[in-house]
Chain A
Amino acid sequence: MSAGTLYDKVWQLHRVAELADGATQLFIGLHLIHEVTSPQAFAAIRELGLGVRHPELTVATVDHIVPTSSQARPFSDPLAEAMLATLERNCSENGITLHGLGSGRQGIVHVIAPELGLTQPGMTVACGDSHTSTHGAFGAIAFGIGTSQVRDVLACQSLAMAKLKVRRIWVDGALQPGVYAKDLVLHIIRQMGVQKGVGYAHEFAGPAIAALCMEERMTICNMAIEGGARCGYVNPDATTFSYLKNREYAPKGEAWGKAVAWWSALASSSDAVFDDEVLIDASRIAPTVTWGITPGQGIGVDEMIPQLDQIARAERPLAEEAYRYMDLKPGSAIAGVAVDVCFIGSCTNGRISDLRAAAAVAKGGKVAAGIKAFVVPGSEQVAKEAEAEGLDQLFRAAGFEWREPGCSMCLAMNPDRLEGREISASSSNRNFKGRQGSATGRTLLMSPAMVAAAAITGCVSDVRKLLNNPN
């Protein structure tokens, strides 16, 4: 039983009641919604004759279905247009703030809430999207929910939840140049598998985590769910506070100092008890790439795709399925695998620091012949910042397309998708079968810098070599 952790403290603060069957009713401090998982929830509360209990605590944006080439209305896809129109109507009828297209604040829900300062330490954050774990980077308890639970949050700003166990993932050492937060989280999932996190909140801590900026911490927490943990978090510290200061929804004036003091006290105590602990050494991690069909099937870019006898017996059927689906040869190098499409973006890696890292690799280079490469900023703010720095020009000059913000080819609910057996180098979070819009399409997950390296060279390449030998 964990005690004295940030998770315990935030849980206690938000506990409303113990329910008849052992679950806890938990208050939700920030509810984020988008067009895909909310329409049926609004329909359900209407059917029940209920209103939205706390419209001021729900914030909406549109991200999953928006086209990234032209966002002119109406969208050419009538289904996408109907979804956005439904969200607009639900928000206006219920007094919910919607950060819509062209507002300057639209973007992927897990990008905009942090950048607006909506996400703060000590909150409970829920959203009908599994990557809600992203917001844990601020020391919030943030988790994905289904549509029936979206209905419950709309109706009563709370959820029936079972308390999770807490596992501390202590990351020692420091990431080497050319190795990014994405590599760290892919490495953690490779080490722990995709199931170990089920039933746990993951606290990411240790010197390597403390050294990460907020955007890097978001990348780590974003993919907690890929290791099975519905919720991941980092204790708030000076890095957190300096990111939040002066953001639109952050406390201001006299409240700021008091908020910082309150936030600081939420961090797990030095004598906190964890249900489990895992130790990771950051200094030995190489740029990491997935070769299979789960985010746990990853290897260092300098390694060979594992042979069946190198894989734990229980994992072998899945490995065999991955060999067949990916059509990659066990025992061969992952470096040099040719790619067709290069995608930089998503709630995992669509923030300004991600675009800067990719731009540093793309600068002065040229996308290899026959490769489609595109950059999708995570939000209108990210796009604006990148354009002010000239990153859009840099990417365009190198042969990348520069797109409008949205979820794009992470899950291909918009026109951006793989065709047939195409293989992508992708900065997103899931390499599941069919994930990027083609039932036979293939995905190699990697950092944005590694995606840029793949775009320039035409194949999976060790970004450290490109950084050492600039164009």
Chain B
Amino acid sequence: MDNIFPSGAITKISGKAVVLSGNDIDTDRIIPARFLKCVSFDGLGAQVFADDRKELNKGAAGFHPFDQPEKQGAKFLFTNQNFGCGSSREHAPQALMRWGIRAVLAESFAEIFFGNCLALGIPCVQVEQALILELQALANEATNPNFVLDLASSSISSEGCSWAIELEKGIQQMFLSGRWDGTAQLIANNEALNKTAAALPYLNNLWA
């Protein structure tokens, strides 16, 4: 498990990819509610997909992708539509991050999950269905190839092949500049904040 969490500018991520096929994988599945009984996020990495893993590992179908020996240490998650829907629990991306995931590529993401990942410095990259299926197939090959996500050139590459990806410009800039960790920016606008607050009727009994 990689305990160095994202910090500062993020330009390139390199590593193996774990594949989870399926749409609408919700945050209750990523981290079941009983693991939310904590006052710190430490220790969540071991619990990621706890119930799905337990169920699948019991059967004859083999290991859950997060338990496949060759996927230990993977940095990428390749999945499908509406990943991270449901509960707003940041425990979900925290668990993925603490397991080792540093970027998620999917056909689409649930909004709160996307924002939670951004706040942790984990890029969520939305890609076309055809490309995610190709990447998933490649990641599942016996060679278990390495992938490189280059946020500066907006590309994902593996074994000499490279695919263009589309990053929203603002999001791309946040990662490249390190401004994804944005609390300082918000604090810097103190004067503007006071001005906005002072003009709100419901805070100042200024109904007009």
Query: Which residues of A line the B interface, CB within 8 A?
Result: 13-17, 19-23, 25, 27, 29, 36-37, 39-40, 43, 48, 50, 54, 57, 64-65, 77, 79-80, 82-83, 86, 120, 122-123, 128-130, 132, 143-149, 151-152, 155-160, 162, 194-195, 198-199, 225, 228, 230, 251, 255, 258-259, 261-262, 294, 314, 317-318, 321, 411-413, 430, 432-435, 437, 439-440
Q: Are A158 and B171 closer than 8 Å at their CB atoms? A: no
Which residues from chain B contact A83 at a C-beta distance below 8 Å?
37-39
Q: Identify which of B29, B37, B186, B201 contacts A79 (C-beta below 8 A).
A: B37
- Is the CB–CB distance between A146 and B119 below 8 Å? yes
Residues of A within 8 A of B52 (CB): 433
9 contacts between A and B (CB under 8 A): A145-B115, A147-B91, A149-B116, A160-B182, A195-B85, A294-B26, A317-B23, A413-B34, A413-B36
Contact B196 A155 (CB under 8 A): no
Q: Are B55 and A440 in contact (CB under 8 A)?
A: yes
CA distance A317 to B24 in the complex (A): 11
The reply to whether A149 and B208 form a contact with Cβ atoms under 8 Å apart is no
Which of B5-13, B71-79, B104-112, B150-158 has 4 or more CB atoms under 8 Å from chain A? B104-112
Residue of A nearest to B52 (CB): A433
In the complex, are the beta carbons of B33 and A432 less than 8 A apart? no
What 5 pairs across the A-B complex have the smallest Cβ distances? A22-B170, A258-B207, A148-B119, A146-B116, A146-B90
Task: Pick the interface stretch among B61-69, B138-146, B187-195.
Answer: B187-195
* Contact status B29-A434, CB under 8 Å: yes
Q: How large is the interface on B (under 10, 10 to 19, 20 to 34, 35 or more residues)?
A: 35 or more
CB distance B186 to A411 under 8 Å? Answer: no
Known: A146-B115, A258-B208. 17 other contacts (CB 8 A): A25-B185, A27-B197, A40-B40, A40-B41, A48-B183, A122-B202, A123-B202, A130-B87, A148-B119, A152-B183, A157-B193, A159-B186, A195-B81, A198-B110, A318-B24, A430-B26, A432-B28
Interface residues of B in 10-37 (CB under 8 A from A): 22-24, 26, 28-29, 32-34, 36-37
B88 touches A255 (CB 8 A): no
Alpha-carbon distance A36/B94, docked complex (angstroms): 14
Q: Within 8 Å CB of B205, what residues of A?
A: 251, 255
Given A148-B119, A194-B85, A199-B111, the answer on whether A318 and B196 have CB atoms closer than 8 Å is no
Select the residue from A20, A43, A146, A413 with max chain B CB neighbours within 10 A: A146
Residues of B that sit less than 8 Å from A by CB: 22-24, 26, 28-29, 32-34, 36-41, 51-52, 54-55, 81-82, 85-91, 93, 108-112, 115-116, 119-120, 169-171, 173-174, 177, 179, 182-183, 185-187, 189-190, 192-193, 196-197, 199-203, 205, 207-208
Closest partner residue, chain B, to A259 (CB atom): B207
Contact status of A439 and B115, CB under 8 A, knowing A16-B193, A152-B182, A156-B186: no
B201–A17 CB distance below 8 A: no
In the complex, the answer to whether B196 meets A130 with C-beta atoms within 8 Å is no
In the bound complex, do residue A439 and residue B54 qualify as a contact, i.e. CB atoms below 8 Å apart? yes
| Given A198-B108, A198-B111: A439 in contact with B32 (beta carbons within 8 A) | yes
**Residues of chain A within 8 A of B116, CB atoms compared:** 146-149
Please name all residues of chain A whose beta carbon is closer than 8 Å to the beta carbon of B200 when the two chains form the complex. 13-14, 27, 29
**B171 contact set on A, CB distance < 8 A:** 21
Most B CB contacts (10 A, CB to CB) among A43, A79, A147 go to A147
In contact, B37 and A146 (Cβ under 8 angstroms): no
State whether A230 and B111 are in contact (beta carbons under 8 Å apart), knowing that A16-B193, A146-B90, A195-B81 are contacts in the complex. Answer: yes
Q: Could you tell me if A195 and B201 are in contact, using CB atoms closer than 8 angstroms?
A: no
Q: Could you say which residues of chain B place their CB within 8 Å of the CB of A50?
A: 187
Report the Cα distance A171→B88, complex, angstroms: 28
Given contacts A128-B88, A194-B85, A412-B33, contact A262 B207 (CB under 8 A): yes
Q: Determine the residue in chain B with the shortest Cβ distance to A123.
A: B202
A130 to B111, CA, bound (A): 10
Within the complex, the shortest CB–CB distance from A25 to chain B, in Å, comes to 6
Instruction: Specify the chain A residue showing the minimal Cβ separation from B111.
Output: A230
Contact, CB under 8 Å: B182 / A19: yes
- Chain A: minimal CB distance from B122 (Å): 11
A430–B119 CB distance below 8 A: no
Compute how far the CA of A259 lies from the CA of B204 in the bound complex, rounded to whole angstroms.
Answer: 11
Interchain CB contact under 8 A, A228 and B110: yes
Question: Is the pair A80, B37 in contact by a Cβ cutoff of 8 Å?
Answer: yes
Closest to A82 in B: B39
Q: Is the CB of B88 within 8 A of A195?
A: no
CB of B96, distance to nearest CB on chain A (Å):
13
Query: Residue on B with the closest CB to A54?
Result: B197
Once bound together, how far apart are the Cα atoms of A199 and B168, in whole Å? 14
Looking across the interface, which residue of chain A has its beta carbon closest to that of B38?
A79
**What residues of chain B lie closer than 8 Å to A13, measured between beta carbons?**
196, 199-200
Closest to B40 in A: A40
Q: Give the distance in Å from the alpha carbon of A80 to the alpha carbon of B34 in the complex.
A: 10
Judge whether B187 and A156 touch: CB under 8 Å. yes
Which single member of A54, A145, A314 contacts B112 (CB below 8 Å)?
A: A145
Bound: A432/B185 CA distance, A = 37
B170 touches A198 (CB 8 A): no
* CB–CB B112/A262 < 8 A: no
Measured between beta carbons, the chain B residues less than 8 angstroms from A57 are 203
Interchain nearest-CB distance for A376 vs B (Å):
16
Alpha-carbon distance between A115 and B191 when the two chains are bound, in angstroms: 34
**Which of B34, B36, B109, B183 lies in contact with A156, CB distance below 8 A?**
B183
The residue that B179 contacts in the complex, of A21, A86, A123, with Cβ under 8 A, is A21
Interface centre among A27, A230, A294 (most CB of B within 10 A): A27
